[in-house]
Chain A
Amino acid sequence: MPAQQTLIEAFAVALEIEPQEVVDSLTYSEHPKWDSTAHMILVAQLEADFDVMFEIDDIIDMSSVKKAKEILTKYQPSLSFDG
Chain B
Amino acid sequence: MDNVLVTGAYGGIGTAVCRAYAKLGAHLIIVGRDLDKLNTLKKSLESEFSASTTMQCIDLNQPEQINAMCNTLRKQVGSIDVMVHCAGMMHEAPLMMTRPEEITDLVSTNIISSIQVTQAISKLMIRQKKGAITLMSSIVAKQGAAGQSVYCASKAAIDGLVVSLAQELGALNIRVNAIAPGFIETPLVAHYDDEQRKSLTSKVALKRLGTPNDIAKVACFLSSPAASYITGQIISVDGGLRL
Contacts and interface: CB of A to CB of B under 8 A. Distances in A.
Interface in B163-192: 171-172
B198 interface: no
Interface string A16-35: 00000000000000000000
Contact of A40 (B67, B71, B75, B126): B126
A43 B70 CA distance: 14
A44 B71 contact: no
B99 interface: no
Contacts of A48: 74, 127
A38 to B, nearest CB: 10
Nearest to B129: A41
Nearest to A51: B75
B123 A43 contact: yes
Nearest to B126: A44
Nearest to B78: A48
Given A37-B171, A37-B172, A44 B67 contact: no
Interface residues of B, number: 12
Interface in B102-131: 123-124, 126-127, 129
B74 to A, nearest CB: 7
A14 B71 CA distance: 20
Nearest to A42: B126
B58 to A, nearest CB: 14
Nearest to B70: A53
Contact of B71 (A37, A43, A53): A53
A61 interface: no
A41 B126 contact: yes
Contacts of A51: 75
Contacts of A44: 123-124, 126-127
B172 A41 contact: yes
Contacts of B67: 53
Nearest to B124: A44
Contact of A47 (B123, B129, B171): B123
Greatest chain A CB density within 10 A among B70, B126, B171 is at B126
A59 B134 CA distance: 25
Closest 5 CB pairs of A and B: A44-B126, A44-B127, A53-B71, A37-B171, A44-B123
Interface of B: 67, 70-71, 74-75, 123-124, 126-127, 129, 171-172
24 contacts: A37-B171, A37-B172, A40-B123, A40-B126, A40-B172, A41-B126, A41-B127, A41-B129, A41-B172, A43-B123, A43-B126, A44-B123, A44-B124, A44-B126, A44-B127, A45-B127, A47-B74, A47-B123, A48-B74, A48-B127, A51-B75, A53-B67, A53-B70, A53-B71
